[in-house]
């Protein structure tokens, strides 16, 4: 038996779709082509097979996702993960939050920031720089016009460059997208360990 995970965790759950994913052996040539642009083409995840129902979006989404999260320059990868995590916490996407909290902890070789965020949410005790990054991403995630000129000024006062600010906008907004797929189309689940 598996149960749905409701609490934020860094231990990445399984993802169980609420719709029937495309079956690999029934995929159209277009779907197979789009599936091959994902990082792993030997074992395609249930999530990617679900998104294969909209093959045109899937094909453009993977390169865009990778560019926003991993391209060189601008904001550090760990700080982009804070943007992703803030969005995932606002939208309560347990799966996305787990993946990106885990990635942040591994990049920083430190779990304290994500421990603090999961324990205290927006009241977490953060460094001044992480504070303004998290707050901006949280407000932008709550509503498109939720962040204000004061929030933007706080990013600049904390020393973020224009390129870093752009990367923060992109990474947190990207998870406005990803959360609305992951959290809407499936459940985060974990296998029950039977006694």
Looking at the Cβ atoms of 1 and 143, the one nearer to other proteins is 143
Looking at the Cβ atoms of 12 and 51, the one nearer to other proteins is 51
Candidates 27, 5, 31; CA nearest to 16 is 5
Note whether 189 binds other proteins by CB under 8 A. Answer: no
SS3 160: coil
x/- track of binding to other proteins for residues 100-139 (CB under 8 A): ----------------------------------------
Note whether 143 binds other proteins by CB under 8 A. Answer: yes
Looking at the Cβ atoms of 64 and 119, the one nearer to other proteins is 64
Contacts with other proteins in 21-60 (CB under 8 A)? 50-51, 53-57, 59-60
Q: What's the min distance (Å) between Cβ of 110 and other proteins?
A: 28
* DSSP state letters, 95-159: HHHHHHHHHHHHHHT--HHHHHHHHHGGG----HHHHHHHHHHHHHHH-TT-S-HHHHHHHHHTT
Among the listed residues 3, 33, 41, 71, the single contact to other proteins using CB under 8 A: 71
Looking at the Cβ atoms of 51 and 117, the one nearer to other proteins is 51
Note whether 180 binds other proteins by CB under 8 A. Answer: yes
Note whether 184 binds other proteins by CB under 8 A. Answer: yes
Distances (CA, A) of 55 to 32, 33, 155, 177: 9, 9, 37, 16
Chain Cα centroid distance, residue 10: 13
Pairing of strands 14-17, 2-4: unpaired
């Amino acid at each position: 038996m598996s149960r749905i995970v409701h609490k934020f965790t860094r231990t990445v759950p399984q993802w169980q779709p609420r719709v029937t994913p495309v079956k690999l052996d029934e995929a159209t040539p277009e779907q197979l082509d789009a599936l091959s642009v994902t990082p792993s083409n030997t074992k395609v995840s249930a999530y990617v097979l679900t998104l294969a129902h909209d093959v045109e979006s899937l094909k453009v989404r993977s390169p865009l996702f990778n560019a926003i999260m991993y391209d060189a320059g601008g904001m550090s990868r760990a700080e982009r993960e804070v943007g992703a995590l803030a969005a995932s916490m606002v939208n309560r996407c347990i799966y996305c939050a787990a993946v990106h909290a885990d990635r942040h902890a591994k990049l920083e070789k430190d779990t304290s920031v994500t421990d603090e965020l999961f324990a205290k949410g927006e009241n977490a005790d953060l460094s001044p720089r992480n504070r303004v990054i998290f707050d901006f991403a949280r407000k932008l995630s709550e509503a498109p016009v939720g962040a204000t000129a004061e929030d933007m000024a706080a990013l600049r006062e904390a020393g973020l460059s224009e390129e870093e600010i752009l990367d923060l906008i992109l990474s947190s907004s990207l998870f406005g997208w990803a959360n609305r797929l992951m959290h809407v189309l499936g459940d985060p689940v974990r296998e029950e360990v039977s006694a």
